Amino acid sequence: MTKFSDLNLNPKVLKAIDEAGYENPTPIQAGAIPAALDGRDVLGIAQTGTGKTASFTLPLITQLARGRARARMPRSLVLCPTRELAAQVAENFDTYAKHVKLTKALLIGGVSFKEQDTLIDKGVDVLIATPGRLLDHFERGKLILNDVKVMVVDEADRMLDMGFIPDIERIFGLTPFTRQTLFFSATMAPEIERITNTFLSNPERIEVARQATASETIDQGVVMFKGSRKDREASEKRKVLRGLIDAEGEKLTNAIIFCNRKTDVDIVAKSLKKYKYDAAPIHGDLDQSQRTRTLDGFRNGELRILVASDVAARGLDVPSVSHVFNFDVPGHPEDYVHRIGRTGRAGREGKAITICVPRDEKQFDAVEKLIQKEINRLDSPVKSSKSAETDTPVAEDKPKPTRSRSSRSKSEPKTEAAAETVTETKAETPREDTSSKSRSSSRSSSSRSRTSSRDDRGGNKVVGLGDHTPSFIGLSFEERMAS
Question: What is the C-alpha to C-alpha distance for residues 145 and 138, in angstroms, rounded to an integer?
Answer: 8
- Give the chain's radius of gyration (CA, Å): 38
User: Under a CB-based contact definition with an 8 Å cutoff, are residues 452 and 430 in contact?
Assistant: no
pLDDT score at 395: 40
pLDDT in tens, 425-462: 444 444 444 444 444 454 544 445 444 444 444 445 44
pLDDT band at 10 (very low <50, low <70, confident <90, very high): very high
β strands within 186-288, DSSP E: 204-207, 218-224, 255-259, 279-282
How confident is the model over 319-335, as pLDDT tens digits?
Answer: 789 999 999 999 888 78
Residue-level pLDDT at 194: 92
Instruction: Classify domain 4-207 by CATH number.
Output: 3.40.50.300
Helix axes 131-139, 165-174, angle to 10 degrees: 50
Average pLDDT, the chain: 81
CATH code linked to domain 218-377:
3.40.50.300
Taking phi first (over 0 means left), then psi (-120 to 50 degrees means alpha), and beta for anything else, what does residue 315 get?
left
Read off the pLDDT of residues 377-420 as tens digits, 9 standing for 90 and up: 999 988 654 433 344 433 434 444 444 444 444 444 444 444 44
pLDDT in tens, 215-264: 788 999 999 999 989 899 999 999 999 999 999 999 999 999 999 998 99
pLDDT of 12: 94
% of residues, the chain, pLDDT over 70:
75
pLDDT value at residue 396:
38
pLDDT (0 to 100) of residue 457: 46
Length of the chain: 483
pLDDT tens-digit readout, 120-134: 999 999 999 999 999
pTM, entire model: 0.63
Listed by start position, the domains of the chain span 4-207, 218-377, 405-482
Q: Quick one: which of 199, 168, 202, 171 has its CA closest to 38?
A: 202
Identity of residue 289: S
* Region of 167 on the Ramachandran plot (φ > 0 left; ψ -120 to 50 alpha; else beta): alpha
**Torsions phi, psi of 135, nearest 5?**
-70, -30
Bridge partners, residue 343, by sequence? 321
Residue 414's pLDDT is what?
A: 44
pLDDT for the residue 483: 59
pLDDT at 430: 45
137, 116 Cβ separation under 8 angstroms: yes
Contacts of 359 (CB under 8 A, 6+ apart): none
How does residue 361 score in pLDDT terms, banded at 50, 70 and 90?
very high
Q: What value does the mean pLDDT take over residues 170-177?
A: 95
The phi, psi pair for 104, rounded to 5°, reads -140, 160
Res. 30: pLDDT tops 70: yes
Cα separation, 422 vs 367, in Å, equals: 75
One-character DSSP codes across 288-339 = HHHHHHHHHHHHTTS-SEEEEEHHHHTT---TTB-EEEESS--SSHHHHHHH
